[in-house]
């Protein structure tokens, strides 16, 4: 919009002699250099912040995330089991919830869905204690809610892995062994780093995780997706928003 009276004949002779007045903004000296380097747009990143074990974990999931809400309803079926086992092994229930979310979406990502389902159906060469081309009892190397690996754990071959309580108990024994391993082998780690190392070891193995630490790499460097512990704690933080301590 033009300034009032700018085009009236009354002022036209004045403008011809003295010129049009400048806006106030134009007369102010610029606080910035006349030439600026182009600014590159920042890529959105998924931010994770370590928090003390005694406190809460940061989460990038919205409180109303529908996928997570479905998993929450599934995890609630095992709430008594989770809390009982968490006390036994001194592991936060929210961490167990975060691991179950990452591993199987609390059974929703398994075939068939539920605690008796399997995951990780991609074919792979024999490793660990497996000598046959495929598991003789059928496909799926990950067993049950916490996806115990068939090749590396006898429990997944002979134990009651279909039982949700037994499956969660076994996963916590693996976590507990990893915690003791890092207490002995990596005493310089902070409590937050030990927690991440313990969780990363569940996926990538304690020895491989220790190699990452000694090499100065990220704790998750040898985990699936290179983000296992961060992602688990991210999910754990979301479960804390919904009442899991």
Does the pLDDT value for residue 5 go beyond 70?
no
CB of 145 closer than 8 Å to CB of 166 = no
Residue 215 is assigned to a structural domain of this protein: yes
pLDDT the model gives residue 133: 82
Total of domains in the chain: 1
Average pLDDT over residues 102-119: 98
With residue 41 as reference, give the H or E element that holds it: none
Tokens 């301590």 correspond to what residue?
Answer: 245
> If pLDDT is split at 50, 70 and 90, which confidence band does 53 have?
very low
Residue-wise pLDDT for 226-238, tens only, equals 999 999 999 999 9
Q: Is residue 174 part of a domain?
A: yes
Cα diameter, the chain: 101
Task: Please determine, for residue 38, whether its predicted confidence score (pLDDT) is greater than 50.
Answer: no
Each residue's pLDDT tens digit, 124-162:
888 888 878 888 888 899 999 999 999 999 999 999 999
Among candidate residues 100, 104, 105, the one with its CA nearest the CA of residue 70? 105
Give a yes or no: residue 152 inside a domain: no
- On the question of pLDDT at 50 being above 70, the answer is no
pLDDT for residue 127: 83
Position 57 scores a pLDDT of 96
Q: What's residue 131's pLDDT?
A: 79
Is position 36 within any domain?
no
Whole-structure pTM value: 0.78
Tokens of 47: 């931010």
More confident residue, 41 or 76: 76
Look at residue 9 and tell me whether its pLDDT is greater than 70.
Answer: no
The answer to whether position 74 is within a domain reads: yes
Is 214 part of a structural domain of the chain?
A: yes
Task: Specify the CATH number for the domain of residue 197.
Answer: 1.10.530.10
Give the tens place of pLDDT for each residue, 172-186: 999 999 999 999 999
Domain presence at residue 133? no
Which tokens belong to 95? Answer: 């961490």
CA angle (92 as vertex; 120, 179 as ends), nearest 5: 70
Residue 119 domain-assigned (yes or no): no
Range of 180's domain? 66-103+161-241
What average pLDDT does the structure give for the chain? 84
């Amino acid at each position: 919009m033009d300034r009032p009276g700018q085009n009236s004949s009354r002022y036209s002779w004045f403008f011809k002699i003295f010129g049009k007045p400048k806006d106030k903004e134009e007369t102010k000296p610029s606080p910035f250099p006349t030439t600026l380097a182009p600014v590159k747009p920042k890529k959105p990143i998924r931010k994770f912040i370590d928090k003390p074990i005694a406190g809460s974990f940061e989460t990038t999931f919205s409180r109303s995330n529908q996928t997570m809400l479905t998993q929450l309803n599934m995890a609630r079926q095992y709430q008594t089991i989770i809390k009982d086992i968490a006390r036994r092994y001194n592991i936060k229930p929210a961490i167990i919830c975060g691991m179950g979310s990452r591993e199987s979406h609390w059974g929703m990502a398994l075939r068939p869905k539920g605690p008796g389902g399997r995951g990780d159906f991609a074919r792979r060469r024999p490793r660990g204690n497996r000598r046959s081309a495929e598991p003789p009892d059928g496909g799926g190397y990950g067993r049950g809610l916490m996806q115990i690996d068939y090749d590396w754990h006898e429990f997944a071959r002979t134990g009651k892995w279909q039982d949700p309580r037994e499956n969660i108990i076994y996963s916590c024994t693996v976590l507990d062994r990893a915690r003791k391993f890092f207490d002995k082998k990596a005493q310089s780690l902070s409590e937050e780093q030990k927690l991440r190392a313990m969780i990363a070891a569940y996926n990538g193995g304690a020895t491989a995780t220790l190699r990452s630490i000694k090499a100065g790499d990220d704790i998750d460097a040898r985990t699936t997706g290179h983000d296992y512990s961060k992602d688990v704690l991210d999910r754990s933080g979301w479960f804390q928003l919904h009442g899991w301590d």
